[in-house]
Amino acid sequence: MLGSSRLARPKVFPMKQLVLFSGKPEPELPEVDADRAIAAMLAPSVRLGTSTWTFPGWRGIFYPKDIPEREITTHGLRLYARNPLFRTVGIDRSYYAPLRAEELARYRDDLPDGYGCAMKVWSGIVARRDPHTGQRSPWFLDPHAFEERVLAPIVKSFSRNVGVLLLVLSPMRAEERMDAGELAERLDRFFEAAPRSFRYAVELRNPELLSRAYLDVLARHGVTHVLGLWERMPSIGRQLAVPKILTAPLVVCRLSIRPGERYEDRKRICAPFDKIVATDEETRADVVEVAARCAREGRSLMVIVNNKVEGSAPLTVRALARRIVAGR
């Protein structure tokens, strides 16, 4: 059996003092006392975080105001993990190419032992066509390629820092689309063969693939259906209303972009991601409802937030944490 990983209860991890800024100890993170206070009231089973961490626009709101951009690139993950409210983080780079063991070891060395990340699975496994070449992928939902190309480096260098592996199924065009039954069968075969020592979650980008057969397969294998906020998918609230939508003890919400919006438009509007551009009250309320349901049903919750939802992912995370604690 490959590796071992679990979404452990959050705890205080000892961290080494970073020496940045030309040899001077780095200053305290902005708003960290307020974040610590909210974190103390947030249930240990709730983990909030951002979809990645390398944004210079976060200086002054999440990173120290005067930190050089190169320090965010080289030390940002370690700084990120020092904030007690931000209990998880997304690793998106792994979607574009499998990460080598050496790269994963650098991430591991910047994180506390057991700090669980939401790591995307390589596009070769989850996209019917290569996003760069447009060629059909020969490894789509191939468990052997998945184990060899994706899991092997993780097992070597990063298994204790994987909270969940995300299979974000790329949007399928009409000419390549499978029906919901075929997808359910392919996922059934994939998870039957995949090592059970990791947690898995599947995110759909085609709403017509959200079917009872699909949910039944995920539930049978203990795999999470991601409640994903995405331009073509139903809202979080509408997905939550689907019978048996919560398929595993871990519930994952990924807030990427609001329905009807477009990625490049949101990027242009929201950059440099240093403020809330527009509050999404509906999505905030939906996430609070997901948290309440998880509490009632004894499930753990992971929420990953992208800048393009409201303008600044750290500010959205803080707002969600306050509302979850307040219960409204």
* pLDDT at res. 137: 86
H or E segment to which residue 292 belongs: helix 281-297
* pLDDT at res. 178: 86
Q: How many other C-beta atoms can be found within 10 angstroms of the C-beta atom of residue 323? A: 15
CA 241, CA 234: separation in Å to the nearest integer? 11
DSSP 150: I
Burial class (CB in 10 A: 0-12, 13-18, 19+), 184: buried
* pLDDT at res. 24: 60
pLDDT tens, 127-141?
A: 988 777 778 889 999
CA 200, CA 215: separation in Å to the nearest integer? 14
pLDDT tens, 205-261?
A: 999 999 999 999 999 999 999 999 999 999 999 999 999 999 999 999 999 999 999
* pLDDT at res. 97: 93
Take residue 127 and report the two structure tokens written for it. 């996209």
* pLDDT at res. 23: 56
CA 13, CA 264: separation in Å to the nearest integer? 37
Ranges of residues in the chain whose predicted pLDDT is under 70:
1-27
**Contact by Cβ (8 Å): 253, 236:** yes
Q: CA nearest 296: which of 251, 230, 234, 264?
A: 251
Who's near 261: CB < 8 A, 6+ residues apart? Answer: 231, 308
Burial 100-111 (b: 16+ CB within 10 A, else e): eeebbeebbebb
